A = this chain, B = another copy of it.
Amino acid sequence: MLKKIIPAIDWIQNYNKHDLKGDMSAGVIVAIMLIPQAMAYAMIAGLPPVIGLYASTIPLFIYAILGSSKHLAVGPVAMVSLLVLSGVSALAEPGSEEYLSYVFLLMFMIGIIQFSMGIFKLGFIVNFLSHAVVSGFTSAAALIIGLSQLKNLLGINLDTGETIFHTLFEAAQRISEINIITFLIGIGSILTLLFFKKKLPRFPAPLVVVLVSTLLVYFLNLKDYGVKIVGEVPIGIPSFSLPAFNIDSIVALLPIALTISFVGFMESIAVAKAIAAKEKYKINSNQELNGLGLANIIGSFFSAYPVTGGFSRSAVNYQAGAKTGLASIITAILIIVTLLFLTPLFYYLPNAVLAAIIMVAVFGLIDIQEAKHLFKVKKMDGLTLLITFIFTLMLGIEEGILIGVAFSLLVFIWRSAYPHIAELGYIEKTKVFRNIKRYPEAKTYKDTLIFRIDASIYFANVGFIEKKFSDEMSKKPNINRIILDFSAVNDIDAVSIDELEKIMDNYTSAGIQFLIIGMKGPIKDLVQKAGWNEKYGQNIKHPSLQHVLQMK
């Protein structure tokens, strides 16, 4: 029981020395990766860099104890950071005191929402998010995030919060204002990062770029040439404080809190499940919501900003040998050490380097292959991806994801409204009945039409099914018997049972026999409740087509 509430008990009890080496090495590697990322992502969110570091301490401890994944690397991530900016910048000026207090409250709300979803077992809703939607949405968000850093990369002022088209247009207009040294540092960093990503993916290139550029700025005094730097990062660990509760703020933040709760959970569960499948343990999505929720709730008391499990850091954590939550605890300890002693080192770090780190990270998420693949296999799925992508770019992150979900569900409804209905014929050689379109040798009967309905029947497709019968019947005037093969009908609703009843009665009164064969158990149960056994008796009882057509 206690293990259900605190999953960490499991690995603490069974901890052995062999795990320690992997956990140590993964903890250190993730920390090296996390330090520049945390500062960079805080910058995306419109926050001082140190808030990113704060968010990489307490929440990591909490998740390591209470989360259900042993490999998930929790902390600041790019997508959530962008959502924080887009949601809170409508209420206060990024960087201001007021902005900060909104962000802490937002984090608390996200924690409460996620924790409540876990308690009420609502983790299943993530199932309704098609991978096509996630992929389109991620690619668009990556573009938005990447281009949001253009101003830091070029060293110019650009309005944030507008569409990317606006950003690109404005950047083009201000091309003459570019700070060349900033731009060279940025481009140099991007090329360096890309080079190591390709050639030596395990090399901690971001940290090296951070160190080299900081030294360059310091010794060449580049600050005087207009290169924007991070500046003073406060020393010390965050102290406890409650978010400023206020009903108006809560109402104003609710939509963005819901979006982040959902998007953050989705990112987290996807990577946690992928690793768990490889390691053959199970992720409970509701436990996962509880763990993330508490990490956010408690984090909000220690000046953090919303966290979730990150794609790339979790993958690095796993590949670097993490075995248990201890790896994350080690990461958190190293970040605390950094906060206590090393923050002065970041004074001369240029913003352009953080922008370069962000751009390289997020542009890697743009997945054109997936779009091509989906278009090849099933056009509608490719279209779902494309529509989500376009609307996210044009209207924004929350709107894009909502439109994507709605569209993907409508596609499913649309498909089930026009089900596959096969007319069957008899194949003498193998003594089976098959679709006459795929097996032209199948023999049809002069007086009998046989249909196999390849679908669950419900109100939206029963009309289509009826139309199919009448279309075929009008082509073949000699038919005096219709047989429906129900072996592929997996479900039926009461409304369609009534409609089928009307259809059967109409044909019967026109002198055409109407048989249904091969009903599955659950369907038999339903039509019995509708009184079909008394009404149709033998006409719906035949187990197979062979059985009916040998009776002749």
A residues at B contact (CB < 8 Å): 124, 126-132, 277-278, 280, 282, 373-374, 376-378, 380-382, 408-409, 412-413, 415-417, 419-420, 435, 438, 454-456, 458-461, 463-464, 470, 474, 487-488, 490-491, 493-495, 497-499, 502, 506, 510, 520-522, 526, 529-530
Contacts and interface: CB of A to CB of B under 8 A. Distances in A.
Nearest to A375: B494
B277 A130 contact: no
B526 A454 contact: no
A-B interface, 8 closest residue pairs, ranked by CB to CB distance from nearest: A130-B459, A377-B494, A381-B494, A454-B490, A378-B494, A131-B495, A127-B463, A374-B494
B377 A460 contact: no
| Stoichiometry (number of copies) | 2
A265 to B, nearest CB: 14
Contacts of A530: 373, 376-377
Given A131-B459, A277-B502, A521-B435, A374 B495 contact: yes
* Residue from A129, A408, A455, A490 with most neighbouring chain B CB atoms (10 Å): A490
Contacts of A382: 494
Contacts of A129: 459
Given A381-B493, A381-B494, 17 more contacts: A124-B417, A128-B413, A128-B459, A129-B459, A130-B495, A131-B498, A132-B459, A277-B506, A377-B530, A378-B494, A409-B409, A412-B460, A412-B493, A415-B456, A435-B521, A454-B520, A488-B488
A127 B409 contact: no
A498 B130 CA distance: 11
Contacts of A373: 494, 498, 530
Given A132-B459, A278-B506, A381-B495, A420 B526 contact: no
* Residue from A408, A412, A417, A526 with most neighbouring chain B CB atoms (10 Å): A412
A470 B279 CA distance: 13
Contact of A127 (B378, B408, B461, B470): B461
A490 B420 contact: yes
A376 B502 CA distance: 18
A169 B409 CA distance: 43
A32 to B, nearest CB: 30
A267 to B, nearest CB: 16
19 contacts: A128-B460, A131-B495, A277-B502, A280-B510, A282-B474, A374-B495, A376-B530, A378-B529, A381-B493, A382-B494, A408-B459, A412-B416, A416-B416, A416-B491, A420-B491, A454-B490, A454-B491, A455-B490, A455-B491
Contacts of A277: 502, 506
A522 B378 contact: no
A376 B529 contact: yes
A282 B470 contact: yes
A381 B496 CA distance: 10
B494 A132 contact: yes
Contacts of A461: 127
Nearest to A410: B409
A129 B459 CA distance: 7
A521 B460 contact: no
Nearest to A474: B282
Nearest to A499: B131
A419 to B, nearest CB: 7
Contacts of A493: 130, 378, 380-381, 412
Contact of A132 (B280, B374, B495): B495
B127 A464 contact: yes
A433 to B, nearest CB: 13
A510 B276 CA distance: 13
A282 B466 CA distance: 12
Contacts of A529: 376-378
Nearest to A370: B498
Given A459-B132, A520-B454, A490 B491 contact: no
A451 to B, nearest CB: 14
A417 B495 contact: no
A39 B417 CA distance: 41
A458 B133 CA distance: 13
Given A460-B128, A463-B127, A502-B277, A526 B378 contact: yes
